[in-house]
Amino acid sequence: MKQIRYGILSTAQIVPRFVEGVRESARGEVQAIAARELARAKEVAAELAIPKAYGSYEALCQDEDIDIIYIATYNKGHYEAAKMALTHKKHVLLEKPFTLTFAEAEELFALAKKNKCFLMEAQKAVFLPIASQVKKVIEQGGIGTVRQIRSVTAYPNIDHLKWFHSLDAGGGILHGSGSYPLEFIQFILGSSPISYCGHSSMEKGKTDDQVELSLKFPDQVLASIFLTVQLDIPSDMVIYGENGRIEIPYFWKTDHATIYYNDGREELLTSTVSSEFVFEVDHVNDCLLGGLLESPMMTEKITTDTVRLVEEMYNQWV
């Protein structure tokens, strides 16, 4: 049975969780990890039982035993790292936010096509079984016509991200957490927003620590997204239809949701796994084994539309 061989570019805090997802997947294995310093790469490789360690990103990209490179650098580093991997004709799974500008995103997808490489934004939320169940309920009219969606994402503990307060580094709550609700909503509705506006609590010379977005989708669906690192409040997404609503707690990692009808309720449940990353990894493996260069779920359009929206918001606020 052919295995998809992963190289990990970065030793960021998310890496152990992603590696766990690869190992829980049916067809994935981690072959190597790279850091800017060899000692650090060797340290993490030993901790995670990864066979090979590299002291440069380029050395990892040159490894002929690697099929795909997972990139989890700090936000501003995404573009350069992905460009390097694609230039070496490696498939790429790039952590969100994909890039900081629309032009960078377009360039990466064009380079991927030129070199016949698979390229996808690492957006685990849309691959959770709950996401597909919710999408199916909506498409089958389970809660009637969808009229409004409300999302709240609170992430009060950001002290471990030393670059969070640097806008140049890609810091800020919209860069850090905006992709989750924006792309989850696009996935379940099957469409991108046709208009939007937003406000932030950004002070001059600082990054945004609270953001409120208002969006309009086709078929008169309205959505509101609230992001904060200032408040420790429940995070959820609620989808309101004419005949009921769907409540999804912590929608980016959950294994359950609840449908409320006028005459009762229904629980949506999925099997418990060790890592919520496994579903994303399984999808990527299937795409590569099937010869696909673009995910049919986490599409180029969803990614580039989101990058453009986020960039436009920051251009208005700064």
Query: So what's the pLDDT on residue 157?
Result: 80
Residues 24, 48 within the same domain = yes
CATH number (domain holding residue 148): 3.30.360.10
Q: Does residue 289 belong to any structural domain of this protein?
A: no
- The tens digit of pLDDT for each residue in 134-175 reads 999 999 999 999 999 999 999 988 877 788 888 999 999 999
pLDDT category of residue 272 using cuts at 50, 70 and 90:
confident
Whether the CB-CB separation of 66 and 60 falls below 8 Å is answered with: yes
Name the pLDDT band for 1 (thresholds 50, 70, 90). Answer: low
Q: What is the largest CA-CA distance in the chain?
A: 61
In a domain, 290, yes or no: no
Tens digits of residue pLDDT in 60-73: 999 999 999 999 99
Domain count, the chain: 2
Task: Show which of 123, 145, 165 is a domain's final residue.
Answer: 123
List strands edge to edge, sheet with 91-95: 52-54, 28-34, 4-9, 68-71, 91-95, 119-122
Is there a domain that residue 55 lies in? yes
Torsion of CA 276, 151, 211, 305, to 10 degrees: 70
Whole-angstrom distance, CA of residue 216 vs CA of residue 143: 19
CATH number of the domain that residue 24 is part of:
3.40.50.720
Question: pLDDT for 279-300, tens place per residue?
Answer: 999 999 999 999 999 999 999 9
Residue 147 shares a structural domain with residue 230: yes
Average pLDDT of the chain? 96
User: Among residues 75, 92, 123, which one ends one of the domains?
Assistant: 123
In a domain, 81, yes or no: yes
pLDDT range class, residue 93, cuts 50, 70, 90: very high
Looking at the fold, whether 157 and 86 belong to one and the same domain comes out as no
> How confident is the model at residue 159, as a pLDDT?
74
Whether 92 and 110 map to the same domain: the answer is yes
Q: In this structure, is residue 284 part of a structural domain?
A: no
Residues 142 and 257 both lie in one domain: yes
- For residue 84, the enclosing domain spans 4-123
DSSP codes of every residue in 80-115? HHHHHHHHTT-EEEEESS--SSHHHHHHHHHHHHHT
In a domain, 36, yes or no: yes
